[in-house]
Amino acid sequence: MKIVRALNGHIEIQKPIWIMRQAGRYLPEYRALRKKSPNFMDFCLNPEMVVEATLQPIVRFDFDAAIIFSDILVIPHFLGQSVHFKEGVGPILERANWQELLQTPTQEDIHIIYESIKNVRRELDSQKALIGFVGCPWTIASYMIREGKTNSFEGLVTHAKTWPLFNKLMDKLTTVISDHAVRQLRSGANVVQLFESWASAVPAELQQMWLFEPAEKIIRQIQKQVPGANVIYYGKGIAGQAIKNLQHLGVGFGVSQDTRLSSLKDTSVCLQGNLDPQKLLDGNFRGDVLNILEFSKDRPFIVNLGHGILPETPVSHVEGFVDLVRSRQ
């Protein structure tokens, strides 16, 4: 598996490639499938649909990895905080009963996700990696506290500093997220990616406490429970700080488009990224991809976007992106 080899330090001449949100609305076959299950969370918990959605981009583009179709917000859902997705708005979470939620174990039907992973692994070519994923505690907490409204963080950071239950929520999420990652790997995922999508909202003086300490606890627990586990940490907008704080753990790092790869030239860890999704949408990506390939030619690297693919992206642009990466022999 090219992605696993890259994460273990191997320098591939032809770089492995997959893209974040590769199973999604830019694909006509995905849109057709979604019409069969309008409720998004129900869709995520339908094993047959999850398998089909996960494999659709592999069939079309022959990516080097599939990523299990799910959502980072399955965690609050399985802790009993109702999650709904509204078209044009995004996720909406009900107001939580915090005392009750902090004492609630995850609901039993979380096993559906692990069954879906087992089913995908059986269908997926043995040379293709299967990626599982989790949201990190700060990002999940942000959604849970703001009930899905994450367009402004100023009030959230202030609230979190003074809310007596914030640390308990972070501890709870760290434990639950660690277990969810481990169970995905034990079910057949070859890699697990940790998404800290709202990392850049955390002030510098709180990053160690709110981002890197929980991440290290999660990674160490994964490595304890699944020796040799392959982990990618994606902190949007903070790749340099993440590498400085977490590279001793032997994981790979996702790099978002707002971080220059040249600023990371002195690191030897496996990097992943970082084409701007807007460039892929516009079709103006050739120069950026060639720069990524030049930067990565002598290092372990996974080609990807800097964030999730935009729903309006033409399929032909994705085909061109993949072809360009694969043309490098």
pLDDT-derived band at 87, boundaries 50, 70, 90: confident
Average pLDDT of span 290-307: 97
Mapped onto helix, strand or coil, the DSSP state of residue 253 is strand
Query: Can you give the pLDDT at residue 152?
Result: 65
Taking only the tens place, the pLDDT of each residue in 26-76 is 999 999 999 999 899 999 999 999 999 999 999 999 999 999 999 999 999
Mean pLDDT (the chain, rounded): 95
Nearest to 45 by CA among 107, 111, 90: 111
Provide the whole-model pTM.
Answer: 0.96
Per-residue pLDDT tens for 161-199? 999 999 999 999 999 999 999 999 999 999 999 999 999
Q: Respond yes or no on whether the N-terminal peptide bond of residue 274 is cis (omega within 30° of 0).
A: yes
Predicted local confidence at residue 90, as pLDDT = 82
Q: pLDDT at residue 329 above 80?
A: no
Q: Which domains does the chain have, with CATH numbers?
A: 2-326 (3.20.20.210)
- What 3-state class would DSSP assign to 265? coil
Measure the CA–CA gap between 285 and 277, rounded to whole angstroms. 9
Tell me what the mean pLDDT of segment 321-326 comes to.
97
CA–CA gap between residue 315 and residue 296 (Å, rounded): 25
pLDDT per residue over 307-316, tens digit each?
999 999 999 9
234-261 mean pLDDT: 97
- How far does Cα 60 stand from its chain's mean position? 21
Determine contact, residues 220/281, Cβ cutoff 8 Å: no
